[in-house]
Amino acid sequence: MTGKITLSELADIDVEVLKGVGEKRKESLADYGITNVLELLMNYPRKWVDRTNEARVSDLVAGNEALVIVEVHKVSKFTTKNRRTVVTIQVGDDSGRLTAVFFNQPWRERQLKVGTQVAMFGKPDIYRGVLQMSNPLVDLIGDRTGRIVPIYPQSEKTQVSTWELATWVENALERCRERGLSDPVPVELVNKLELVDRTAALWGIHFPETMEAKQSARRRLAFDELLRVQVVLVGRKRAFELDNTGIRHIVDGKLQQRFISAIPFALTGAQNRVISEINLDLAAPHPMHRLLQGDVGSGKTVVAVSAMLASVQGGHQAALMAPTEVLAEQHFAGVRKLLEGLLVPDANNLFGDRQLRVELLTSRITNDRRRELLRDLANGGVDILIGTHALIQEGVEFASLGVAVIDEQHRFGVEQRAALRNKGEATNSQNSEKVNTSPDVLVMTATPIPRTAAMTVYGDLDVSVLDEMPPGRTPIKTFWVTGEKPESEMWGEVRAAIALGQQAFVVCPLIEESDKLQVASAEDTFKLLAKTELKGLKLGLLHGRMSSNEKDETMTKFRERKIDVLVATTVIEVGVDVPNATCMIVLDADRFGIAQLHQLRGRVGRGSIASRCWLVTSDPEVSSPRVDALVESTDGFYLAEVDLELRGEGTIMNTAQKGRSDLKLASLRLDRDLIELARATAFEIINADPTLKSHNEIRQEIDLLLTPDEEEFLFKN
Ligand code: ADP
Ligand code: MG
């Protein structure tokens, strides 16, 4: 091979070529998860010990934290009377000696063998006249010299030491020196973005001369990770846009106009703006692929209905898919009401009109009814179909699906989105010829996501945001409640609200570990409240182990005010709409995440009466930053930012989409500027070269480093 070394070349080199890696080490490395040189080089240190901060043992002062690099001289272990294990090690450097003790860490005996070099960080004390550190932070560094020593992720099971890894990495990088590492990002771009080159980055992440050098290295490697993801997403987005088999919908037709003018309220500015954004997409020849972000109660339904009507106007159909039956049914009732009395031209009668037909398809409808529904769907008799994932099952065929709306996206996977899209095979009405058209897709989510994070999670979609609440809503007041007296006052206020004819939700303590315990918690809360604070009121219970029929029955009773207080688990988190419910009590609120609390709170404040939300925690001594955030603000986007700050990416990634496994260094939270940079760069690259013909290496790296799920759509078209 000649030319600079590419990552895929490195991936083809077995670790056994490295000095010191024989059969046995090779096996250990495989256990560790490393089989080739690329994996070795991309196994980045978990931290770096800066030896410039190193103290000599003779310089240690009791009470002052310090880092020392020492050798282990002696190890002993004993168990105290009350079964605590104590591992004591004697260590020292050429200036003096010191003792370290570890309580309840029996494995230290095996870890810290005599002769091992360790970096120890801690606060020394004088104990029985001897300098001693208790439970210091310890990193094994072997005999590595250099100012900054890399510490690699370690696990007890695999017998690969951090200094062995460092030695092999060094060996590998040395051997790359002559030919040099290839850099797929054009040098002008690297310079413009003030990034270091790949070679410098890899040396710098493993063996930085200074901590600043490590930072620049991290920045470059994180950029590469983000760029790969963005190239995939932007490429996918462009591919959708180039797909010309969409439908040019009629957006200035009578249906939309009549619908909008018949709505009993004026649209918000945000609703108007978003409807226009969507209409532009609908009228264009290529299929829409848009995300609608809007906080709970921001009025997404009206926007969705407007889009669906554009489809019906042109003689096509529309579908709305919701994640649960309760939600599908609620949408069905709501949409039906919104569209009451709207007429559409009747295909069977040149001069006649017929009622616009909205139908519901869930797994709960009878077989006969289902058969009839599917028949009418296939012959175009049904205009709008609302349902659960039953919509994407085999056998559900539309005459011509023009617009597909997916509500609460995070409950559906990418595959399900695609499945609904694929229901778009349509019969051309002019000549009965089957043509494949892709419906316009609108994905709705009530989970606000900070902008740059959305660029990564939903980077293949255009984004519209409903950032304005309909007027006339009295903002929800939120209280943190803790302690016996405030709690009992709270129940008093709840009883008073109910006496005025209002209703309340009580959300039970969250028990993540087990569904069964969760149900037990709900039942206990229900029984307790019925006997005590809410005695004499009509209570209902709702939890995930009830059958859909039972759940429905309870919800219906609540809606019809036959129940005053609904004691529930988080099953009420999504979408449930009961305007007369004005009180939300969340017990053990500090156990819930911000997004979840926000969703729960969104169940009240849906009518004209002022609503309140009480977040109850049990320990008056401990405040929760999440509860504080909720008390402070009702703005979902603000809360999403706080959530990201507090919890890191986990939240977003888990609720939105799995994957993005290539992000080892990049952080959605800390690298917002890099995300924007990577996205802009990806646009530059894709715009100039949509199929990456002349960016073969980037393409190769994507194949190599992103999981198939992450890149599935790229360049398929
Ligand atoms: P979302 O789905 O975004 O949570 P919905 O579409 O369910 O919100 O709307 C919430 C409530 O607000 C509904 O009762 C709806 O009729 C009402 N609504 C929507 N838009 C407006 C508006 N512009 N003015 C007043 N009320 C509105
Ligand atoms: Mg909704």
SS (H, E, C) 141-206: CCCCCCCEEEECCCCCCCCCCHHHHHHHHHHHHHHHCCCCECCCCCHHHHHHCCCCCHHHHHHHHH
Quickly tell me which residue has 């470059």 as its tokens.
220
Tokens at 498, concatenated: 């109910």
Model confidence at 493, pLDDT cuts 50, 70, 90, reads: very high
Q: What is the mean pLDDT of residues 230-251?
A: 86
By alpha-carbon position, which residue is closest to atom 21 of ligand 1? 470
Expressed in angstroms, the distance from the first to the final Cα of the chain is: 33
Element (H or E) spanning 487, and its range? helix 484-499
CB atoms within 10 A of CB 428: 11
Is there an atom of ligand 1 within 6 Å of 605 CB? no
What separation in Å is there between the alpha carbon of 571 and the centre of ligand 2? 15
C-alpha 16 – ligand 1 centre gap (Å): 63
Residue 596 has pLDDT above 90, yes or no: no
Which ligand places an atom closest to the C-alpha of 322? 2
Mean pLDDT of 281-307: 91
For residue 288, the 8-state DSSP code is: P
Instruction: Report which ligand 1 atom has the smallest distance to the Cα of 472.
Output: 25
Q: Where are the domains of the chain?
A: 47-151, 254-283+298-445, 476-633
Least confident of 152-156, 478-482, 532-536: 152-156
Nearest to 603 by CA among 569, 653, 627: 569
pLDDT of residue 141: 80
Distances (CA, A) of 541 to 326, 328, 550, 575, 579: 15, 21, 10, 18, 19
Q: Cite the DSSP H helix spans in 413-483.
A: 414-421, 451-457
Helix-then-strand count for the chain, H and E = 25, 27
CA of 619 to the centre of ligand 1 (A): 37
The residue among 287, 360, 376, 373 whose CA lies nearest residue 322 is: 360
Pocket probe mutation, ligand 1, options 268, 274, 302, 386, max atoms within 8 Å of Cβ: 302
Q: What pairs with residue 290 in β-bridges?
A: 442, 462
| pLDDT at site 410 | 58
Atom number, ligand 1, closest to the C-alpha of residue 602: 4
Nearest CA-CA partner of 553 in 535, 566, 536, 570: 566
> Is 294 a pocket residue for ligand 1 (Cβ < 6 Å)?
yes
Cα-to-centroid distance, 265 and ligand 1 (Å): 9
Quote the crossing angle between the two packed helices 254-262 and 300-313, to the nearest 10°: 150
pLDDT at 457: 73
What DSSP element (H or E) covers 688?
Answer: helix 672-688
Q: Please state the separation of Cα 2 from the chain's center in Å.
A: 42
Beta strands in 453-601 (DSSP E): 462-466, 477-482, 503-507, 539-542, 565-568, 581-586
The answer to whether 515 touches 544, Cβ cutoff 8 Å, is yes
Q: What is the pLDDT of residue 576?
A: 67
Closest atom of ligand 1 to CA, residue 575: 4
Q: How many CB atoms lie within 10 A of CB 368?
A: 8
Indicate the pLDDT class of residue 238, thresholds 50, 70 and 90: confident
**Which residues lie below 8 Å from residue 272, measured CB to CB, with a gap of 6+?**
none
Ligand 1 site, residue 470, Cβ cutoff 6 A: yes
- 606-649 per-position pLDDT tens digit: 778 889 999 999 888 778 889 999 999 988 888 888 887 776 55
Mutate to test the pocket of ligand 1, among 268, 275, 301 (most ligand atoms within 8 A of CB): 301
Per-residue pLDDT at 427 exceeds 60: no
The CATH class given to the 254-283+298-445 domain equals: alpha beta
Angle, CA 563 vertex, CA 559 and CA 567 arms, to 5°: 100
Whether residue 71 has pLDDT greater than 90: yes
Question: What backbone phi and psi angles, to 5 degrees, belong to 361?
Answer: -125, 110
Decide if pLDDT at 198 tops 80: yes
> Which ligand is located closest to the Cα atom of residue 304?
1
Ligand 1 neighbourhood includes 599 CB (under 6 angstroms): no
Q: Which residue, judged by its Cα, is nearest atom 5 of ligand 1? A: 299
Is the confidence at residue 691, as pLDDT, over 90? no
Q: Determine the distance separating the centroid of ligand 1 and the alpha carbon of 470, expressed in angstroms.
A: 7
Is the CB of residue 296 below 6 angstroms from any atom belonging to ligand 1?
A: yes
Quick check: CB of 253 below 6 Å from ligand 1?
no
Rounded distance from Cα 486 to ligand 1 centre (Å): 34
Distance 577 CA to ligand 2 centre (A): 9
Distance from C-alpha of 234 to C-alpha of 236, rounded to nearest angstrom: 5
More confident site: 267 or 412: 267
Q: Which CATH superfamily is domain 47-151 in?
A: Nucleic acid-binding proteins (2.40.50.140)
Does residue 344 sit in helix, strand or coil?
strand
CB burial string 37-55: b at 16+ within 10 A, e below = bbbbbbbbbeebbbbeebb
pLDDT at 179 over 80: yes
> What is the whole-number distance in angstroms between the Cα of residue 475 and the centre of ligand 2?
18
Looking from the CA of residue 577, the nearest atom of ligand 1 is: 7
- Give the whole-number percent of the chain exceeding pLDDT 70: 92
Please give the residue that has the higher pLDDT: either 11 or 513. Answer: 11
Give the residue, out of 265, 572, 634, with the most ligand 1 atoms within 8 A of its beta carbon, to mutate for a pocket test.
265
Which residue do the tokens 């977003």 mark?
A: 652
User: Of all atoms in ligand 1, which is nearest to the CA of residue 267?
Assistant: 23
Ligand 1, closest atom to CA 296?
4
- Report which bound ligand comes closest to the CA of 323: 2
Strands 440-445 and 539-542: unpaired
Name the more confident of 550 and 711: 550
Query: Does the pLDDT at position 434 exceed 60?
Result: no
Closest residue CA from atom 9 of ligand 1: 299
Residue 273 C-alpha to ligand 2 middle, in angstroms? 18
In this structure, the residue with its CA closest to atom 26 of ligand 1 is: 470
Q: How far is the CA of 39 from the centre of ligand 2 (A)?
A: 45
CA triple 301-386-359, angle to 5 deg: 120
Cβ atoms within 10 A of the Cβ of 617, count?
A: 19
Residue 75 host element (H or E): strand 66-79
Q: Whose CA is nearest to atom 15 of ligand 1?
A: 299
Q: How far apart are CA 447 and CA 437, in angstroms?
A: 30
Ligand 2 center–CA 324 separation, angstroms: 12
Average pLDDT score over the chain: 86
Nearest residue to 421 via CA among 449, 392, 446: 392
Rounded distance between C-alpha atoms, residue 252 and residue 564, angstroms = 45
Nearest to 136 by CA among 79, 72, 80: 72
Question: Residue 345: what residue type?
Answer: P
Is residue 638 within 8 A of residue 646, CB to CB? The reply is no
Q: Is the CB of 267 under 6 A from ligand 1?
A: yes
Which atom, in ligand 1's list, is nearest to the CA of 606?
11
**Residue 389 contacts residue 328 (beta carbons within 8 Å):** no
- Residue 639 near residue 629 (C-beta atoms within 8 A): yes
Query: What is the pLDDT confidence band of residue 660, given thresholds at 50, 70 and 90?
Result: very low
pLDDT value of residue 1: 61
CA-closest residue to ligand 1 atom 19? 299
Ligand nearest to the CA of 334: 1
Give residue 453's Cα distance to chain centre. Answer: 9
Statement: 476-633 belongs to CATH 3.40.50.300: yes
Q: Looking at ligand 1, which residue's alpha carbon is closest to its atom 17?
A: 299
Which atom belonging to ligand 1 lies closest to the Cα atom of 295? 3
Distance between Cα 180 and ligand 1 center (Å): 60
Question: Which residues make Cβ contacts (< 8 Å) with residue 30, sequence separation at least 6?
Answer: none
Whether the domain at 47-151 and the domain at 476-633 fall into the same CATH topology: no
Cα(379) to centroid(ligand 1), Å: 33
- pLDDT, mean of residues 355-379: 92
Instruction: Return the closest-CA partner of residue 235 out of 667, 700, 694, 699.
Output: 699
